[in-house]
Amino acid sequence: MGALRSPRRLRIEVLGGLVVALALIPEAISFSIIAGVDPRVGLFASFTMAVSIAFLGGRPAMISAATGAVALVIAPVVREHGMDYLIATVLLAGLIQVLLGVLGVARLMRFIPRSVMVGFVNALAILILLAQLPHLTGVSWVVYAMVAAGIATIVLLPRVTTAVPAPLVGIVVLTVITVAFALDVPTVGDQGDLPESLPSLFLPHVPLTLETLQIIGPYAVAMALVGLLESLMTAKLVDDVTDTRSSKSREAWGQGAANIVTGILGGMGGCAMIGQTMINVKTSGARTRISTFLAGMFLLVLVVGLGDVVATIPMAALVAVMVMVSVGTFDWHSIRLATLRRMPRSETLVMLATVAVTVATHNLAYGVIVGVLVAAVMFVRRAAHLTRVVDVAHPDEDTRVYAVAGELLWASSNDLVHRFDYAGDPDNVVIDLSASRIWDASTVATLDAITTRYAAKGKTVTIVGLDEASAERHGRLAGHLGS
String of DSSP letters for 385-432:
TS-EEEEEE-SSTTEEEEEEEEEESHHHHTTGGGSS-TTTS-SEEEEE
Q: What is the pLDDT of residue 444?
A: 93
> Coil, strand or helix: which one is 17?
helix
Q: What is the pLDDT of residue 33?
A: 72
* Cα–Cα distance measured from residue 444 to residue 376, given in angstroms and rounded to the nearest whole number: 22
Q: What is the pLDDT of residue 403?
A: 94
Q: Can you spell out the DSSP letters for 294-360?
A: HHHHHHHIIIIISHHHHTTSBHHHHHHHHHHHHHHHS-GGGGSHHHHHHS-HHHHHHHHHHHHHHHH
* Cα–Cα distance measured from residue 143 to residue 315, given in angstroms and rounded to the nearest whole number: 9
User: Are the beta carbons of 372 and 112 closer than 8 angstroms?
Assistant: yes
Residue 405 CB burial class (10 angstroms; 0-12, 13-18, ≥19): middle
Q: What is the pLDDT of residue 31?
A: 81
> Coil, strand or helix: which one is 106?
helix
* Cα–Cα distance measured from residue 272 to residue 375, given in angstroms and rounded to the nearest whole number: 25
> Coil, strand or helix: which one is 47?
helix
Query: CA angle, corner 195, sides to 191 and 199, nearest 5?
Result: 135
Phi, psi at 423, each rounded to 5°: -80, -40
Output DSSP code: residue 460: E
Q: What is the pLDDT of residue 270?
A: 93
The pairs formed by 343-348 with CB atoms below 8 angstroms and a separation of 24 or more are 346/375, 346/378, 346/381, 346/382, 347/115, 348/115
Q: Which residues pair with 461 in a beta bridge?
A: 429
Q: What is the pLDDT of residue 2?
A: 65
* Cα–Cα distance measured from residue 18 to residue 294, given in angstroms and rounded to the nearest whole number: 7
Q: What is the pLDDT of residue 37?
A: 84
Sheet holding 399-408, edge to edge: 388-393, 399-408, 428-438, 460-464
User: What residues of the chain score a pLDDT lower than 50?
Assistant: none
The CA-atom distances, in angstroms, between 257 and each of 21, 58, 93, 277 are: 21, 12, 10, 20
